[in-house]
Amino acid sequence: MENQQNNEGKKRVSAVLIAALVLLLGLTGYFAYQNFSLQKQLKQCFDSSTADAKEATAKNDSLTMDFKNLSGRYDSLSSVYTDLDSLFNAEKERLAKLEDELKKFNSGQTGGMSYGSIKKEYVLLKARQEDYLKQIDLLKEENRKLTLENIDIKSDLQVEKDNNEALNKKVDNLNSKIQTGAVLSIAFIKADAIQVKSGNEISVTKARKTDKLRCCFTVSKNTLAAAGYKDFYLRVIDPSGTVIQNDANLGGSGEIKIKEGTTVSYTTKASVLYENENVETCVYTYGKSKNYDKGNYKFEIFYENQKVASTSIALK
């Protein structure tokens, strides 16, 4: 009986020990599972935080690069459009301040702008720059059109200028022809030696009988020439090649410049009243000594600085 009770006691102890062991193993497994689950959750949180940190860093780096790109574009624009330099510098200052705000945010400083506000301000600055670029493109296109129009206008002006020059040349040629056509000409010229006897003038051929020389000429009718007194200059050259000089009390002699630019002496001047009709006149020469040598005498008539007629006589 006693042995039976001891066996039952041992069985009860063994059952308790087995139950305790089972409970201990269950608790160990449970805590091991909880630990594994906690580690897994911690790892997931760490990985998520790391990913978020990497993503945030990438966003910040991207935004910082965007700031630099905008600023660099303004540098390029300033070098090309110097007149807008002050405007572009103001925009670059705004970008610099926004970049400082991003640095404050990344360093965890308080009192600054939020990341969302920084991003929003950046979008506005970028949109403004794009608007500037569009305006510049529009201005460039307008300038191109104006340049083409200016070229067309210059071309038209050059054509008008060429036409005007051609017209002026025609006018000048016409004026020249009119002036040439308006020049009076000599239709007839005759010279002879004169002897004065008993108040009468007698034409002679001998030098010793000559008292003066006479040159008569006819001015032709020219309707293009203006009426009025016209000055004709008579130049008489004696056999020795000397220009005969009239006595001072008879009008005297002088000099004129001819078209060739040279100066020539004349014997006497005759002012002829021209009234758009043929007009005849005679001019006389009086030498101081009134002694004429034998030989040839040449007579030349000048009008408006050019020689218009000539003739000669020979005295025996």
Q: Which tens digits make up the pLDDT trace of 295-308?
A: 999 999 998 888 88
Q: Is the pLDDT assigned to residue 133 strictly greater than 70?
A: yes
User: CB neighbours (10 Å) of residue 131?
Assistant: 10
Q: Which residue has the higher pLDDT, 74 or 312?
A: 312
Give me the amino acid identity at 229. Y
CA–CA separation, 61 vs 45, rounded Å?
24
The two structure tokens encoding residue 267: 């014997």
- Residues 56-82: pLDDT tens digits? 566 667 777 877 787 777 787 777 777
In the numeric block, the tokens 């220009």 are attached to: 243
pTM for this prediction: 0.45
**Pick from 75, 132, 125: nearest CA to 98:** 125
Is 213 in contact with 284 (CB distance < 8 Å)? yes
Is 267 in contact with 301 (CB distance < 8 Å)? no
2-80 and 85-107 are packed helices; what angle lies between their axes, rounded to 10 degrees? 170
284 has which bridge partners?
214
Instruction: Calculate the average pLDDT of the chain.
Output: 78
- Residues 82-94: pLDDT tens digits? 777 777 788 878 8
% the chain with pLDDT above 90: 13
Give me the amino acid identity at 308. V
49 has which bridge partners?
none
The pLDDT value recorded for residue 111 is 73
- Secondary structure class of 175 (helix, strand, coil): helix
pLDDT, average across residues 146-154: 83
CA–CA separation, 270 vs 150, rounded Å?
61
Looking at residue 304, the DSSP 8-state letter turns out to be T
Q: What are phi and psi of 244, to 5 degrees?
A: -70, 135
User: CB neighbours (10 Å) of residue 126?
Assistant: 16
The pLDDT value recorded for residue 16 is 65
The DSSP secondary structure of 259-279, one letter per residue, reads TTS-EEEESEEEEEEE-SS-E
Is 290 in contact with 212 (CB distance < 8 Å)? yes
Q: Is the pLDDT assigned to residue 284 strictly greater than 70?
A: yes
